[in-house]
A and B are shown apart, each in its own frame.
Chain A
């Protein structure tokens, strides 16, 4: 009978999500601004650097930087939403409902389940908005695909986003449960943001990175999410800013598998942490 406890946690988190209009609005506007300013500005830069040479290969579609980085902006937004998404637990622990939840008969893992579900919802919602805004601004996603193919691609994109969201949201809740202050939480998550975001293929190709950094890129979940989004949104074989991107079905399965492993590990960590949580 206590199977759906996570829906209670989810319900409440969604209430809060849609209650703070300014926060909701800015969380949607921010990626749009990234696209509009960083995307368009950098696209111009890259075009100048490449001096008209798009590095296109015969027979392989070539996409502009703007389209290339749009996938990265979606991934970045999903990353930030979920990496900070555990904050509510810190808030609850210090000023809110944590005691009520911990003393209730709801299994404690449902706290994590519920927040994960809400992270997936928020991420999907935000990704949808970014995709729509991006398409309006001229992002070349889903070029030459039929409606059915687009639907298939979206399923792929959202599956990647969901697993990635669960992974980082779990990590975030675990951090929130062990840190004591908002400052501490902010400190740890911000520290994580840097390597995850910059040692990835979100905004630029990583081929020319030094080896140590290459290694970091290879274990970075964000890399796998971006790869997945590009595969489904742009295609399995394209060139962008002079680099060839080729992803086989096997590559994508591997990327998805890597994200699954990441999500399972962090979920287990969060579960363990919440089971041991005591109020202080």
Chain B
């Protein structure tokens, strides 16, 4: 019996000449929470739209819950649920009608529909808004409603395209808890995100995707461990000289210099390596302006694999 609930092999999707998804392969095990972590335009939504049969598959093979995507999209649709990235509500239906429509669309029996709607409205704190048309909801409330809608059914695989975008921190935490509960009941979850903490906290496995390609894949822990156990951030009077001194020191597996300073990847326990580094720099007469020791975060993982910061796409570039 095949453990993999999703098997993607050589998936490529072009818009005209431009390959938005450029030959990706991965598998997702039954019951896993798997995320695509990537910046704007990485190809996350394109990949999800192909997997959910909204875009016709062009190249590669995909099997979802044992069904071939190209030859049997209808069977795939039977087994999946999806929360879209875009606003896809009917502005003139009420909150309750939106969920009712979804329940009917998936053929849920009446009693189950009613129970689910009540439960989910409670979860996303929209119970008092049940009779209000969706055009009167705030952005975050619409998002919550869309998530609730995706959770109406208990599909084999639930796809969520940047589910918690625009949600306040408490609500995000509650959504995560609920997604984990849904996952424990047996639903495999595939989500895309550009929130590091979301990928880190929620997923069993993460694939970092950029320019349509998967550039790293593994558990959040293994990805972070790839960078070493600890990270030292260092700012000195002469970074260039400092880099030359530190490179090749024992216990240091990598040095990266950028305008903000030096980033040292440490193989072992950073608390022991740091004094040694400080001592060497002092010997060389290099002044240390600031120093910081920390565990690698998903942010660091991302910078390490893509060479750029995820959040800096618009704001940080150019200086």
A-to-B contact residues, CB < 8 Å: 1-2, 5, 7-8, 11-12, 15-16, 19-20, 92, 95-107, 278-279
Q: Known: A103-B77, A279-B49. Is A97-B106 also a contact (CB below 8 A)?
A: no
Contact in complex: B107, A97 (CB < 8 Å): no
Partner of A11, one of B49, B84, B90, B104: B104
B105 in the interface (beta carbon within 8 A) = yes
Write out the residue numbers on chain A whose beta carbons fall within 8 Å of the beta carbon of B55.
Answer: 278-279
Considering the chains assembled together, what is the distance between the CA atoms of A279 and B77 in angstroms? 15
> Quick check: B107 and A100 within 8 Å, CB to CB?
no
With contacts A15-B97, A99-B54, A278-B55 known, is A104 near B88, CB below 8 A? no
Q: Which residues of B contact A101 (CB under 8 A)?
A: 105
- How near does chain B come to A11, taking the closest CB pair, in angstroms? 7
Across the interface, name the chain B residue whose C-beta is closest to A96: B90
Set of chain A residues within 8 Å of B87, measured between Cβ atoms: 95
Q: Could you tell me if B105 and A5 are in contact, using CB atoms closer than 8 angstroms?
A: yes
CB nearest to B102 among chain A residues = A100
- Across the interface, which residues of B come within 8 angstroms of A104, CB to CB? 77, 102, 105-106
From residue 72 to 101 of chain B, which have CB atoms closer than 8 A to chain A? 74, 77-78, 80, 82, 84, 86-93, 97, 101
Given A103-B53, A103-B82, A95 and B107 contact (CB-CB distance below 8 Å): no
- Does B90 lie within 8 Å of A105, measured CB to CB? no
With A19-B92, A278-B56, A279-B49 as known contacts, state yes or no: A97 contacts B101, CB within 8 Å. yes
Chain A's nearest CB lies how many Å from the CB of B319?
37
Shortest distance between the CB of A95 and any CB in chain B (Å): 7
In the complex, B263 has a CB within 8 A of chain A: no
Find chain A residues with CB under 8 A from B149 CB.
100
Contact B90 A97, beta carbon cutoff 8 Å: yes
- For A279, the chain B residues whose CB sits under 8 A away are 49, 54-55
Could you tell me the distance between the alpha carbons of A16 and B102 in the complex, rounded to whole angstroms?
A: 16
- How many Å lie between the Cα of A147 and that of B169 in the bound state? 69
Considering the chains assembled together, what is the distance between the CA atoms of A103 and B74 in angstroms?
9
How long is the Cα–Cα vector from A20 to B107 in the complex, in angstroms?
Answer: 27
* B136 vs chain A, min Cβ distance (A): 14
Question: Contacts of A100 on B, CB cut-off 8 Å?
Answer: 84, 88, 102, 105, 149
Q: Mark B298-310, 1 if CB is under 8 A from A, else 0.
A: 0000000000000
Interface pairs (6), CB distance under 8 Å: A5-B107, A99-B88, A103-B77, A103-B82, A278-B56, A279-B49
A97-B90, A99-B84 known; A8 and B54 CB under 8 Å? no
- B35: shortest Cβ distance to chain A, in Å? 20
Which chain A positions have C-beta within 8 A of B86?
99
The reply to whether A278 and B54 form a contact with Cβ atoms under 8 Å apart is yes
B102 cross-chain contacts in A, Cβ below 8 A: 100, 104
Contact A105 B106 (CB under 8 A): yes
Once the chains are docked, how many angstroms separate the CA of A80 from the CA of B187?
Answer: 46
Q: Are A103 and B54 in contact (CB under 8 A)?
A: yes
Partner of A105, one of B49, B78, B88, B89: B78
What separation, in Å, do the CA atoms of A27 and B63 have in the docked complex? 49
B53: chain A residues within 8 A (beta carbon): 102-103
Determine the distance from Cα of A107 to Cα of B149 in the docked complex, in whole angstroms.
Answer: 19
